[in-house]
Chain A
Amino acid sequence: MPLVELTDKGLYCPAGDFHIDPWRPVPRAVITHAHADHARPGSGLYFAETSGVPILRQRLGADLACHGLAYGESLELGRARVSLHPAGHILGSAQVRIEVDGEVWVITGDFKRDRDPTCTAFESVTCDTLITEATFALPIYRWPEIDTVAADIHRWWQANAQQGRASVLFCYALGKAQRVLAALMAHTEQRVLLHGAAVPLTQIYRDAGVAMLPTEPALEAEVEKKFAGELIIAPPGANGTAWMKRFGDCGTGFCSGWMLLRGNRRRRGYDRGFVLSDHADWPALLQTIEQSHAQHVLATHGRSDILVRYLREHGMRADELRTEFGDEDLAAES
């Protein structure tokens, strides 16, 4: 019997009687990270990595019954031994390792291997079966260095400032926004303004000791001029809303892995697209699969079809797992 199976409520471990990132309420849920497609409300008891607990409470309710686990610390649930390991995706994001009678399964959740000063770096975990995300499983996806991207963002901000314009940078409010704030420290000490949705989350990152540029909420100013030269970070959903009016004529940018493709850059109608993803690119996916030493790979999210076919052609056992997980950048836009 498989250690983890797909049910209508999500991934389920029968030996431990718990779900992983369930999409409907269940008695016990192990959460890989707090993005909305992985952490949903209504379950009885949540388990998450300690630094992710405040984010979960911020998103799902202050009184959430949530048990914190440090990376590497293990917990017995039924016959299963469960531990969480760094996924490098956002603060508190974890891979879930499940061991039952010597057999090991790892669920990566969302992960990346690129540098990110806001969270613990990804660690490879060996296993028999690996359930991996495949959001960007095509060899066209190779992320540029975050330093290059941060330098681009900074240059764009300065160019707008020189024209007396504000720069509104759209990034997902949890994870991406804070990663940008941290990466920009290499270029400036200037204060950045935040959309209300990013304020409490950024505070949680600060409380966890993550170093970032100083921030302030972007409150409506009396004089429009006040925003000239400012960088404002906002979730993509704020684009085109009345909230944007206060900035007058401003430059708009969007941070996402999807911005690698010219078609996406143009279609979305932002002035600039910055290639910045919190998901694994193609080389990172292959490296992770190799280092896991897994004999069986199950792929979820995005282009799992491609990954599975590619692995099979390379002699590996691989299958698709149809979950309801999505990509936060796309979810935020629709």
Chain B
Amino acid sequence: MQAFTDLYVSLDSTTATNSKVAALRRYLAEAPAADAAWAIYIVSGRRAKRLAGRPLLKDALQTLTGYPEWMVLDAYATVGDFAETASLLTEEVRAANACDDQHSLAHWMEQEILPLADLDDEDKKQKLMDWWQRLPQLSAFLATKLITGGLRVGVSQTLVARAVAELADLPRDVITHRLMGDWQPNAAWFKSLLDPDITAETSSRPYPFYLASPLEKAPAELGTRGDWLAEWKWDGIRAQLVKRGGEISLWSRGEELITERFPEVVQAAAALDDCVLDGELLAWKDRVLPFAELQRRIGRKTVGKKLLSEVPVRLLVYDCLESDGEDLRPCGMRERRASAEALAAQADDRIATSPLLDHDSWEALAAARDGSRARGVEGLMLKAADSPYLTGRKKGAWWKWKVEPLTVDAVMIYAQAGSGRRATLFTDYTFAVWQEQEGERQLVPIAKAYSGLTDTEINSLNRWIRANTLERFGPVRSVSAEQVFELAFEGINASTRHKSGVALRFPRIARWRTDMRPEDANTLGQVKDLLSLYGNA
């Protein structure tokens, strides 16, 4: 396991993607094939089922170290990760033992870790205590992470594919394709991963996506309205539907193969002629559903009947990149659009074209854009009518003209330490607005937010929090209601689960309003006005 631990350390100690890829490639080149297979399995975030729960770990840790529960929990609150806490607290008992680990990663996974599933709790506990004493600290941390199923290495699927592709000297999307679906991490699989025969994979390849740039000037500066196509800017998952030789595959923008996750779209695509369509996957019931709903579909490899009926998904197509084997990308947008419409018409309404807006002046378009939020879209897309399909972030042909985020001024009332890498700082905050009841003003929580402040602001806010803590509840502190923040958010919904009766979508800190007094913050009444204006129930 030592070699894998070293790999983990090099992946964990750098933020540079090139170094990560190099470290991974080096490991895969040097490790036995079975270890390489397991390393890919672990690093790409696949996980075995959880083999031991927190109570068992805690019990084993207390038995081994003799520390009282409060101390173990306090250590955990400081460290932010239970496996790491265990590996550090056991350093004392470890020091007295030899730290020597000759077994391969595959041996560890197949002979030690996975067989835990067949043991009862007492035997599991003995195993854990044994490992903690026997393994060096980092390996002990990793082994514990592997049995709790929560190891995140900070390497994306794309980076894994890059490393393997470099090693095998094959195109990256071939490797991406091979990394999809179900496979068993063993030596034979690893060898097949590097197989130079790629005919099977090339046929499903997507084209590189073209990405829109934010419009930072007045649309009139783009020229004549007639030279541009306008569509709604949907907030879904950008995807390419590839159908060649009757075989259908669905690719996300991250070059991830997501065919299995959207069976209804694949079903509808059965009616299409061979083509490559570019569009947006959206959760849809008469109208577009909030992105949060679509999110329920993203994490799943396979989708159950219930979820399929609760969150049906459709593909709104806005471009056609290939038709009957012909690459249409050099053609103008208007022409490709016509092909897209013709193709979408072959399928049922689970595949449709994203409608064009026909408002004939920039002013009329701007007015339509103001209604974006009520429609559940983020604004408008403007596409040059004669432009070919470009690649990457090349500017000029596609612009996204988003609506401004909504804002509210709220008072910070709770602060919580972050988890994992932010465990020693208060980085999660709860904000409240004023509620007036029978002449009394009272703060009600409205949103939690963690992003948006600079490191300097976080540091000075942390000093303020430490000095102005009212009460502590575990990792949470209530603080005196003095600091006002401007929160930006993308949408607002009515909610019965929140005391305030509203839920903000994607709240984030826009500004620390050191210029405002707490009494100047918004009231719940004002927030509810936003709900009636923009809310989609």
Contact = CB atoms under 8 A, between A and B. Distances in A.
A306 B12 contact: no
A138 B74 CA distance: 8
Interface of B is mostly: helix
A313 B71 CA distance: 11
B422 A262 contact: no
Contacts of B13: 265, 271-273
Contacts of B462: 334
Contacts of A309: 70
A139 B65 contact: yes
Given A271-B13, A333-B459, A261 B79 contact: yes
B406 interface: no
Contacts of A265: 12-13, 421
Interface in B1-54: 12-16
Interface string A74-94: 000000000000000000000
Contacts of B88: 140, 142, 260
Given A263-B79, A313-B68, A258 B74 contact: no
A262 B459 contact: no
A269 B14 CA distance: 9
B460 interface: yes
Contact of A261 (B67, B74, B84, B91): B84
Interface string B475-505: 0000000000000000000000000000000
Interface residues of A, number: 25
Contact of A264 (B71, B75, B89, B424): B424
B463 interface: yes
Interface string A293-334: 000000000010010011001000000000000000000011
Interface of A is mostly: helix
B246 interface: no
A262 B421 contact: yes
A142 B12 CA distance: 21
Interface string A13-32: 00000000000000000000
A311 to B, nearest CB: 12
Contacts of B92: 139, 142, 283
Nearest to A142: B91
A183 to B, nearest CB: 20
24 contacts: A138-B74, A138-B78, A139-B65, A140-B78, A140-B85, A140-B88, A142-B91, A142-B92, A261-B84, A261-B423, A262-B12, A263-B79, A263-B81, A263-B421, A263-B423, A265-B13, A267-B422, A267-B425, A269-B15, A271-B14, A303-B78, A334-B460, A334-B462, A334-B463
Given A267-B424, A283-B92, 19 more contacts: A138-B78, A139-B65, A139-B67, A139-B92, A140-B78, A261-B79, A261-B424, A263-B80, A263-B420, A263-B422, A264-B423, A265-B12, A267-B422, A271-B14, A271-B15, A306-B71, A309-B70, A310-B71, A334-B459
Interface of A: 138-140, 142, 258, 260-267, 269, 271-273, 283, 303, 306, 309-310, 313, 333-334
